[in-house]
Amino acid sequence: MSITYELIRSWKDKTGNVNSMEDIFNWVAFRNNNLKVDIQKIPFSYDGFWHYDEADGYIRNTNGSFFQLAGYQEIADNKVVREQPIILQKEVGFLGILCQMIDGELNFLMQAKVEPGNVNVIQLSPTIQATKSNFTQKHGGAVPAYLDYFKNAKKYTIIADQLQSEQASRFLGKRNRNIIVYVDKDVKIDVLPSHKWMTLGQIKECMRYENLVNMDSRTVLSCIPLSKELLEPEEFAQIEGLFEDKSFFASVFGGSDQPKEHLIFNRLNDYKMLNDSEFRTVPLKALENWVITPMGIECKNPYDFKVIYCKIEIEGREVRKWEQPLVEATGIALFGCLTTVEDGVRKFLIKIKPETGSFDGAELGPAVQLESIALKNKTFNIIDNFFLERLEKKQNVLFDNLLSEEGGRFYHEQNRNVIIEIGSTEEAGILPDGYFWVDYATINHMIQFNNVVNIQLRNIMALIEI
């Protein structure tokens, strides 16, 4: 049987054949109760291991590793139209998941990982989640577990391997390597106490619990390529029987809508080519609307985030004690997708979304992507208003949950992820410029390209069940 066939079978299985859901919940609870974790907000002297570098006005550590904080200014018509601190992290890290057939079922090796910014301490993370500074040991710690499987992935079967963007509202051009490696069942993989085997269906089920599955796991799983061409002919009919939602089966395996995909790329590339806005990085002290204090960096006006400084102690990490800046959200953002069935095929509403630190200026995002300040100020367009009205009435809401953002750089950031079904594409009205109704296969195909689908849309695609 093909790997794609086994992926769908694993997606369908929410019970598990190696570990039950009860096993997984008990394991997470045990590690939460027994790992020593101490995160404290503290004053920042700006002249220690992390310091304000007077040469360029950035905050960095003395090793020049991990990341830096710089000032960012967007320029239009020779005027600063937007400014904020931004994270600079050019290095590409591994977000990798191992999978293997165990007793006739495909399982994924997931990690119960603590990140300093996690709202609930333990979250289900990829097999490996490591910056280049981590796995090259610039921090002086141990080599991350399972690293060799990903450094030597060509020895195994590579299911997905893409450089994908991170949160462009916080990072400047940041990308990580999203990789899934299938290891033949004859290869023995030692399972550490920090890791457990789970079916894809179990991972999807865990996404229905607040802040349990981390952002990195969601983005990696969204990269799984799915198409009819990856199946053996006899597998196709068998797989259809596993889908409760036949319109979603048609959306996944009906083939990507190439004319629509060409149109989307044309419009996206038009934006990238014709957008005249420019940006520059500047010293943090040059940000006129931001104030630097011992407790961090904060905007004089309401803004979506601020910078804080934390003292961190986490048992079981490569490095157990350290201090670092973290970006703290000032509210909860809303990421939402509309879906409907058209001619027997499930479609999703997406849009071209420009963002501050986007690698190419813009990527494809969900129909609704509203940060907390936009929600408070009610800066909505026609699609936002339509979506929010349906959400307020709780009308055909298929998914609605708080899920965390990346805990290694963000402090307690959780955002609301919502999928709402409507009766037809006509209900949403005439689409504003840059919005498109597309099937899952088209989105999935575009995820196979670097820097096309943003992390918010990839995360929402990871939430869908069959």
pLDDT tens, position by position, 35-72: 888 999 999 988 888 999 999 999 999 888 889 999 99
The residue whose two tokens read 């048992």 is: 315
Please state the rounded mean pLDDT for residues 149-154: 96
pLDDT of residue 280: 95
Q: Using CA atoms, how far apart are residues 239 and 183, in angstroms rounded to an integer?
A: 23
Joined together, the tokens standing for residue 11 give 């997606």
CA distances from 33 to 102, 107, 114, 186, 315 (A): 29, 26, 12, 35, 12
Q: Are 68 and 88 in contact (CB under 8 A)?
A: yes
* 292-347 pLDDT tens trace: 999 999 999 999 999 999 999 987 666 678 899 999 999 999 999 999 999 999 99
What's the rounded mean pLDDT across residues 450-457? 96
Task: Give the DSSP H or E segment for 346.
Answer: strand 345-354
Cα 297 from Cα 325, distance rounded (Å): 10
Q: What is the mean pLDDT of residues 353-382?
A: 95
Would you say residue 379 has pLDDT above 60?
yes
What 48-53 contacts at long range (C-beta under 8 Å, 24+ apart), as own/partner pairs, is: 48/323, 49/323, 50/309, 50/323, 50/324, 50/325, 52/284, 52/292
The domain ranges of the chain are 258-276+331-461
DSSP string, 363-426: EEEESEEE-HHHHHHT---HHHHHHHHHHHTT-SEEEEEEEE--TTTEES-EEEEEEEE-S-GG
Average pLDDT over residues 394-418: 96
Q: Half-sphere exposure of 451 toward its Cβ, with a 13 Å CA cutoff? A: 16
Structure confidence at residue 247 (pLDDT): 97
CATH superfamily of 258-276+331-461: EvaA sugar 2,3-dehydratase subunit (3.90.79.40)
Residue 36 contacts residue 315 (beta carbons within 8 Å): yes
Element holding 252 (H helix, E strand): helix 246-253
The pTM is what? 0.95
Question: Given this model, what pLDDT does residue 138 score?
Answer: 58
CB atoms within 10 A of CB 431: 15
- Both tokens of 176, joined, read 């990580």
Is the pLDDT assigned to residue 140 strictly greater than 60? no
Among candidates 357, 372, 351, which has minimal Cα distance to 453?
351
